Amino acid sequence: MASCPGLTGKTVEVINFGVGDYGTAQEYLTLQHHAIEYQPDLVLLQIFTGNDIANNSRQLSPGDRLAPFWEEVDGKWQMKFDFRETAPINGETVPQEDCCTA
């Protein structure tokens, strides 16, 4: 950012909330529950084609059992938290009220 000519003489604050191996659903939750508290003027989302496309698909990431995914339901996008009822932790499933909320 320091080398951007359009920002010469301007004060800019950059806060990175990026987390490796997060899909867009997890990134959205991070924005909604943490980053938004900083009242950003601009939010940038970077996509890495090496794994970010797969991280957004339950079919392409079958081993990612502890992540939420976006799914189209009746023409609208909804975040699905199937792992709350199906992902065992210490042999027990996690009740929905004990997990993160959207």
Q: What is the 3-state secondary structure (H, E, C) of the chain?
A: CCCCHHHCCCCCCCCCCCCCCCCHHHHHHHHHHCHHHHCCCCCCCCCCCCCCCHHHCCCCCCCCCCCCEEEEECCEEEEECCHHHHCEECCEECCHHHCCCC
Residue 101 predicted with pLDDT over 60: no
pLDDT digits (tens, 9 = 90+) for 16-55: 999 888 888 889 999 999 999 999 999 999 888 888 888 8
pLDDT digits (tens, 9 = 90+) for 61-71: 877 777 888 88
Q: Max alpha carbon distance in the chain (Å)?
A: 57
pLDDT of residue 66: 79
Domains: count for the chain: 1
pLDDT band at residue 75 under the 50/70/90 scheme: very high
CA–CA separation, 93 and 96 (whole Å): 9
Six-digit token string for 74:
């009746």
Q: Which domain holds residue 52?
A: 5-98
